[in-house]
Amino acid sequence: MRSPYFNRSEELLHFHEWLEHFAPAYSDPALERDQVLSHLPMLENQVSKLNYYQNQLLKQAELFLVVEDLKSDSPELHFRKLETFDALGLDSHYQSLYKKSLRELETAKMLDPELPDLLARLLRLNLAHTEGFKRDISPELQAASDALDIAYLIRRSRFSLAMETYARVFNARYKYQIDLELLLQALESNRPAHPLLEIYFHALRLIKDTTNSTSYQALKQILKDFKDRLPEDDLRDLYRHLINYCTRQINVLDDSSFHREVLDINKYLLAEGLLLEEGVLAPWRYSNIVTAGLKAGSTDWTFDFIKKQKDFLPEAYQENLYKYNLGHYYFATNQLDKAQTILNQVELNDLLLSISTRNLLAKVYFLQGETELLLQFLENYRIYIYRQESISDPIREKVKNFIAYLRKIADPRPPFKEYLRELAEELEAEEAVLEKNWLKEVVSPSL
């Protein structure tokens, strides 16, 4: 406020100095509008003048934030200086800063996806600068064009990857101006030019071709090779795509070997300090890792994980998720009494957790031979699902079918073997049902 460059109003400076007496709380009754108007003669008891000075102070604060942000953003500050040097014809200053900026971008160790954009911008700026001095073939034009192509392909790939992920997770539909197949062709022909092009080529191929094990293995190896050069957030996102690929192999192709892959990836992330985000373990990831560990047969490691990682969950989820996953562990290790006890302690206030817990309890009751208890439990479960307005239709259908099939298996009609054989055939053809593999397992011994 005391800088004549930013503020040339003595009245505004006096207004600011008067306000400083009330910092930092600014809660004094003297700051009520009527009190301010009566205490400051410069306002002449006019609300319009008070509003004017308040508005001017706000503009000064906004300007301060912009300047501070610009000072902290070294590349942007360099660009602004280069533009200024170019406009003023200060070529020696321009050349010195341009060479320094170019060297920093070209020798940067980190594979930050933003850096190719900055390099392309710098080379475009230099192209415009050199055009005023040359009347011949311009190598700067080729350099700027190449950098622009690389930057565009990287940015386009990141957007496409995000769009494909959202499309699968949320069943969203996005329109492509450039077909994904064309983007993959461009990436394939240009991937030697930059490691990020290689990374996004394989990541997008995994989405385009859900059985492409070559790209899966290649991406997994590349991420390990460049783990020290990729920003942590980008590294986590790319590993998430690997896990999503494994999940599709499990859910769509029924390839249970990928449970081991999911577990191994998460073990690696845990060892590298990449599993937590801002010191917190995502609730869904905690449960997914437990499932992968149990399915892969690593029960001891999984039990240890459940215990040790509990405290990294968001506080609101800790107890409930801990009890659910401990119950899952007890179920998987055939400690059914312990599973029943701990699962009945889970508070069923989250829809998806409630469904998962009820499914486990139903399986426990079935395996314990508690037929009457199971049938009553399934009826209550059916009513619960019926009353849930927020549940999506596909999930509702899968839960309803799980309840219906388990009820039929638990309480078959005579002739029993023929009835169960028909039920097994019907179940084999059914796609919309939760716990399908488990249902197939428990119906088979009854035949």
User: Is the Cβ–Cβ distance between 359 and 331 less than 8 Å?
Assistant: no
- Please give the distance of CA 385 from its chain centroid, rounded to a whole number: 29
- Give 156-203 pLDDT, tens digit per residue: 999 998 888 777 766 677 787 778 889 999 999 999 999 999 999 999
Query: pLDDT at position 78, please?
Result: 92
Query: pLDDT at position 232, please?
Result: 93
Within 10 Å of residue 447's Cβ, how many Cβ atoms? Answer: 12
The whole-chain average pLDDT of the chain stands at: 91
157: in domain: no
Say how many residues make up the chain: 447
118: in domain: yes
Query: pLDDT at position 295, please?
Result: 96
129: in domain: yes
300: in domain: no
Arithmetic mean of pLDDT, 367-385 = 96
Arithmetic mean of pLDDT, 18-27 = 89
Considering its fold, how many domains does the chain have in total? 2
Query: pLDDT at position 135, please?
Result: 60
DSSP letters spanning 222-290: HHHHTTTTS-HHHHHHHHHHHHHHHHHHHHTT--TTHHHHHHHHHHHHHHTT-S-BTTB--HHHHHHHH
92: in domain: yes
Domain end: 111, 133, 155, which one? 133
Query: pLDDT at position 171, please?
Result: 67
Q: Which domain holds residue 94?
A: 10-133
- Give 400-414 pLDDT, tens digit per residue: 999 999 999 999 888
Query: pLDDT at position 133, please?
Result: 55
- Give 136-147 pLDDT, tens digit per residue: 667 888 889 999
Q: Is pLDDT at 306 greater than 90 in this prediction?
A: yes
Burial (CB count within 10 angstroms: exposed 0-12, middle 13-18, buried 19+), residue 2:
exposed
Arithmetic mean of pLDDT, 420-443 = 93
Query: pLDDT at position 383, please?
Result: 96
Q: Is pLDDT at 242 greater than 60 in this prediction?
A: yes
Confidence of residue 447 (pLDDT cuts 50, 70, 90): low
Domain end: 91, 116, 133, which one? 133
26: in domain: yes
Arithmetic mean of pLDDT, 204-227 = 92
Confidence of residue 320 (pLDDT cuts 50, 70, 90): very high
State pTM to two decimals.
0.81
Confidence of residue 125 (pLDDT cuts 50, 70, 90): very high
319: in domain: no
C-alpha distances (whole Å) from 161 to each of 189, 240, 300 are 19, 11, 36
Domain end: 101, 133, 165, which one? 133
Pairwise CA distance, residues 73 & 116, whole Å: 16
Arithmetic mean of pLDDT, 428-436 = 93
316: in domain: no
Arithmetic mean of pLDDT, 334-361 = 96
Q: Is pLDDT at 95 greater than 90 in this prediction?
A: yes
Query: pLDDT at position 71, please?
Result: 82
Burial (CB count within 10 angstroms: exposed 0-12, middle 13-18, buried 19+), residue 286:
buried
The fraction of the chain above a pLDDT of 70, given in percent, is 97
